Structure 1
């Protein structure tokens, strides 16, 4: 499970609750941002967003007094008639901006929908009943944790605390006996409020579950210094007798495979994550040492995974870093890869990140990925990293590889390379031509 950073607002929020279809238009945009192509052909009709692939999202009549509260029902397969199975989740514009609500919904419940229909762990995590993060007796699909509050560092601190608390695994006995759906059960985990007045809430299939909420409150999660709210969403799928995999919906997304490099950044990202022809960039999902583990080994060993930092017991501490590669045509390709850090160094980087003092800080590590045409020859290369400026106020910038004593990596870092050698047929200029 990872941490999810909220995108910057695109415009001033409207003063009142949006009509259903206008809010669903924002949901459509947010889903498309998460999975390009997923909403192709989808139509806004009545109170629903309906995909020709067979899934739909609808807005239910308001059940809450809040003016910026939207109750959404998700049907992963509308072809299952007459009683179409659905899971429920609300979207709340805490800031008053419905786009924030749509983004947060898409990154949690929406991510679970995408993963339920894609099933390649590109949008959310899977955990079996025996996994250390799983729910006994069930197959779980869980989103990353989103955060909203007055302080970015506090958002990230509570997101990490919520992820590390392993809530659903630890409180499973308090709510799983009542799960009845033969398809999937939607569970929201929420923790938020003011210092001294924090609320822990678990909603199961749209309803607050008192026993599960009390069990979560007993976990004694840390309190923030200012108003902060964090949450994630999970789907629990029953396992047929004698089988280790659930029965998934017949609907499949069939999106174009992103291959080994997932482009996970918006158009303003300096690493070129959208494959801007002028700023191509790639993100590598896991450190080589972690990727080499089996699914079972990874589930047992990975204790922390924030998306930018990974701690794997018996394997190491890893930080996501930028490796810039200059091309002969003047462009720079940026790989978001992973570096291994000693525990003391790793902890210092985390401390500086929380205190907004990482920029300019230099420290040592080992390069932990095979990259481009140089492949595994770069593995374990000693590197010097430096904290870089963040792309937006309050955020933490990626650290960058700035020096190395490794002969080949030094050439990669300091020389200019032919675009066709580095990018080959992945060069976005070829597709843009």
Structure 2
């Protein structure tokens, strides 16, 4: 694979895909992809050397980025540098993007809502559950994605995250969940506000999602928590 695409090229791809997904205007202004109102997306520095890896920051208020930024990372795949970046952006938009778009419009058109007292959600937090994206290879490439669509992840995560979520003191928390692989080579990762949470990752790893013997199957989703107290 060739080297990572230049940042201006990645930002142009981001702007186009954000506009298509949200059906709103997004444009590149310097090092920011600016959307409607105060919303924007910035691209993190290349700290991995992997052309397929992107660090993306959804900024809800560009005038107050320190307290309104949802940091995330995503990896794409493909035969060319452009293909892997496009796939990474699509995956991010289908999970993180859907949750943030829903936060902005609040009409159920992008993601599902779960109230703070809903047993399917997080006690004390309003949950916006982003989309579930899957990928892999072989006949069972959709196995983990289909399992994730039928099994609720928040009830498995809420007990192990409750104390740490309160300690953050934040009003808005983003949780990325990524898991899958094949039998004997599984992976499970939960990131809270961009940082790996080992206990939550272990909780996902212990669930009975499919482990294909020969094929590869992965799923990713994003949970956006809004404090209600």
In the other structure, the counterpart of 1:247 is none
Q: Does 1:60 align with 2:44?
A: yes
Of the candidates 174, 184, 189, which is equivalent to residue 196 of structure 1? 184
Residues 91/193 of structure 1: CA separation in 2 closer, same or farther (3 Å cut): same
Q: Does 1:238 align with 2:221?
A: no
Structure 2, unmatched stretches of 5+, are none
Q: Does 1:22 align with 2:5?
A: no
Work out the CA distance in 2 between the residues paired with 1:128 and 1:161. Answer: 23
Work out the CA distance in 2 between the residues paired with 1:160 and 1:174. Answer: 24
Matched residue of 2:55: which SS?
Answer: strand
From the CA coordinates, give the structure whose radius of gyration is larger.
1
Work out the CA distance in 2 between the residues paired with 1:164 and 1:156. Answer: 13
In the other structure, the counterpart of 2:159 is 173
More helix by share: 2
Of the candidates 121, 124, 131, which is equivalent to residue 134 of structure 1? 121
Structure 1, unmatched stretches of 5+, are 1-13, 241-433
Native 8 Å contact 1:21 1:48 kept in 2: no
In the other structure, the counterpart of 1:161 is 147
Work out the CA distance in 2 between the residues paired with 1:113 and 1:181. Answer: 20
In the other structure, the counterpart of 1:272 is none
Structure 1 segments (4+ residues) deviating >6 Å:
none
In the other structure, the counterpart of 1:145 is 132
TM-superposed CA distance for 1:66, in Å, is 2.1
Matched residue of 1:61: which SS?
Answer: coil
Measured on the aligned residues, the alpha-carbon RMSD in Å equals 1.9
Q: How does 1:371-410 map to 2 (within 5 A)?
A: none
Residues 101/172 of structure 1: CA separation in 2 closer, same or farther (3 Å cut): same
TM-superposed CA distance for 1:221, in Å, is 1.5
Residues 219/54 of structure 1: CA separation in 2 closer, same or farther (3 Å cut): same
Native 8 Å contact 2:96 2:130 kept in 1: yes
In the other structure, the counterpart of 2:90 is 103
Q: Report which structure shows greater RCO (CA 8 Å, sep ≥6).
A: 2
Matched residue of 1:236: which SS?
Answer: strand
TM-score by length of 2: 0.89
Residues 33/43 of structure 1: CA separation in 2 closer, same or farther (3 Å cut): closer
| 1:280-311 deviations in Å (ceiling 9; x for gaps) | xxxxxxxxxxxxxxxxxxxxxxxxxxxxxxxx
Native 8 Å contact 2:116 2:228 kept in 1: no
